[in-house]
Amino acid sequence: VFEFGTPEQQAHILPRMASAEDLWCQGWSEPNAGSDLASLTCKATRDDERGGWVLDGQKTWTTRGAFCSHLFGLFRTEPDAPKHAGISYLLVDMRSKGIEVRPLRQMTGGADFNEVFFSDVRIPADSIVGRRGEGWKVSRSTLKHERNLIGDPRYLRNSFDSLVELARRSQRNGRPALEDSNVRQRLAEIEGYVCSQEYSGQRQFSAALRGQELATLLPILMNKLYSTDAMQRITRLAFDLLGGDGLVAPVAEEYG
């Protein structure tokens, strides 16, 4: 929406996204279109008499689809066009008539992922982002920003702050674990990794604001690797602090 949306879409949608008044999920994958996403068949047909689009088909692996108010997704609008063409990027109100959301229950008992079924779902004509049949191009922009968020340093910082709080509440030899020299040493080491990720993110963000490409793609490509390593260190210490309690899984979130 930020790059391809109309001024009207930007003025209405972006503030509601930023305030979390509207929560969005992603409708891309289908039962027969996962890694080969361009083979998707969930269709959107223009209703020339009544106006708008009519959606029919299915999406799957929709993260938190049961809790989101809106969906952005890829739909086949020109079935006779080449595979990567004829796809449009549409915005859908999840409260529209004809939408059914079913949980994909995991072995943990949770249902973060969902299947979404569209049956004669009608959405306004201005729900399209970008040009008709060029949704694949718009989706590349979405993925670009998604890749930039992999290894989000804010998530690491929040996780580290929670770890420090856990060390403050936990006991070791009758004293707060935070006072233990070994725990403090491990926390200091972990925070070094967290700070490194934060500074790298700031560098990339500053370059993007200036419209500059970094001299090397290595910082971007390594974001996930570095953040995964740091998160493993955070989790390892957290389990050490929890002891036997770390073997007890939290109560699975009920499907809403």
Cα–Cα distance for residue pair 80/207, rounded to 1 Å: 41
Taking residue 197's Cβ as centre, other Cβ atoms within 10 Å add up to: 24
8 burial via Cβ count (<10 Å: 0-12, 13-18, 19+): exposed
| Beta-ladder partners of 71 | 25, 92
Catalytic residue (choose from 8, 21, 115, 146): 146
Q: b/e string for 108-136 if b means 16 or more Cβ within 10 A?
A: eebbbbbbbbbeebebeeebbbbebbbbb
Rg value, the chain, Cα: 22
Taking residue 15's Cβ as centre, other Cβ atoms within 10 Å add up to: 11
Residues 6+ apart with CB under 8 A from 6: 126
Catalytic residue flag (residue 146): yes
**DSSP string for 25-73:** EEE--BTTBSSSGGG---EEEE-TTT-SEEEEEEEEEEETTTT-SEEEE
Q: Are residues 92 and 55 in contact, defined by beta-carbon separation less than 8 angstroms?
A: yes
Q: Which two tokens stand for residue 139?
A: 């989706």
Query: Which residues have a catalytic role annotated?
Result: 146
